[in-house]
């Protein structure tokens, strides 16, 4: 699933080209998770004023209203002056005077949704419970510690929930917990302020490095130019079950937490 680094890489690749573009029409394919929410005619002639990100959502601010774009489990956006005819997994084509923005999503968990504003009930439903952005000053280690003290679930599951800090998906939670030397099953409320400070720094470090690497391409993700990320090539634990830890040599272990695979080093991450 595209996480914060992949969505931000997508935004960075599209922002300059989309800002100021005028929408000519929108062509819809098979239904996605949520409907567009307005007739296509409502979008014709509108100018894209800026492209922002909130968590894993891309926000296209228009003259009137905004479009919220989610890449789902397997989606990616492509923008070009000319694209081939839509295939069976191409579900939204946003035609502008600068080119076509296409959402390709084989599993159809993505979405493009119109809202009048961020205070619109639909926007609040999608964005209202998102936690702080981890790469901003709003992500404060002391506030992070206070919030974790209220949670009795396993720390990895708390991170994935996204309502304390947003965008720390499965791969990045596993990597951050490794660098902080915290076992994923440790109860969030048991972590000391010192260990939370280490985790806070590790989250920022891992996400920043993932951005520099263009994100992670595990199966479907591609950036706006069709290229792949390569952070997955340098992971310390994620996807490395049975392989030796790059620090101590102990075989990496894998367990299931919820419905997701969790990877950790039993020696480096003792508790």
260 is catalytic: yes
Spatial separation of the C-alpha atoms in residues 40 and 26, rounded to whole Å: 6
Cβ contact 34:110 at 8 Å: no
Which of the following is catalytic: 3, 6, 8, 175? 3
> Of 99, 110, 88, 95, which is closest to residue 2 (Cα–Cα)?
110
3 is catalytic: yes
Strand partners, 95: 25, 100
Q: What is the DSSP string of 131-197?
A: -B-TTSTT--HHHHHHHHTT--SBHHHHHHH-SSBS---HHHHHHHHHHTT--TTSBGGG--HHHHH
Q: What is the distance between the terminal CA atoms of the chain, rounded to a whole angstrom?
A: 28
270 is catalytic: no
**Crossing angle of helices 170-179 and 193-212, rounded to 10°:** 130
Spatial separation of the C-alpha atoms in residues 138 and 247, rounded to whole Å: 32
- Tokens describing residue 144: 């992070």
* DSSP letter assigned to residue 41: G
- Tokens describing residue 28: 């819809």
Alpha-carbon separation of residue 244 from 185, 249, 268 (angstroms)? 20, 5, 12
Which of the following is catalytic: 11, 56, 156, 183? 56
Which residues are designated catalytic?
A: 2-3, 56, 260
């Amino acid at each position: 699933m595209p996480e914060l680094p992949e969505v931000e890489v997508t935004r960075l690749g599209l922002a300059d080209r989309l800002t100021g573009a005028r929408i000519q029409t929108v062509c819809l394919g098979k239904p996605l998770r949520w409907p567009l929410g307005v007739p296509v005619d409502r979008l014709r002639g509108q100018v894209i004023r800026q492209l922002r990100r909130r968590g894993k959502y891309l926000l296209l601010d228009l003259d009137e209203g905004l479009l919220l774009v989610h890449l789902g489990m397997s989606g990616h956006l492509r923008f070009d002056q000319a694209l081939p005819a839509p295939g069976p997994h191409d579900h939204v084509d946003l035609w502008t005077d600068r080119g076509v923005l296409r959402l390709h999503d084989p599993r159809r968990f993505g979405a493009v949704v119109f809202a009048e504003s961020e205070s619109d009930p639909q926007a609040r439903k999608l964005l209202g419970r998102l936690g702080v952005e981890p790469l901003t000053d709003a992500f404060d280690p002391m506030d992070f510690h206070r919030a974790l003290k209220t949670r009795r679930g396993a720390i990895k599951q708390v991170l994935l929930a996204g309502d304390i800090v947003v965008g720390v998906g499965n791969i990045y939670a596993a990597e951050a917990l490794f660098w902080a030397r915290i076992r994923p099953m440790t109860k969030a409320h048991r972590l000391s302020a010192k260990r939370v400070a280490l985790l806070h720094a590790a989250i920022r470090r891992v996400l920043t490095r993932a951005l520099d690497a263009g994100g992670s391409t595990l199966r479907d993700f591609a950036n706006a130019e069709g290229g792949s990320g390569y952070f997955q090539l340098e992971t310390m634990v994620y996807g490395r079950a049975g392989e030796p830890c790059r620090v101590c040599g102990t075989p990496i272990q894998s367990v299931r937490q919820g419905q997701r695979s969790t990877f950790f080093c039993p020696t480096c991450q003792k508790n």
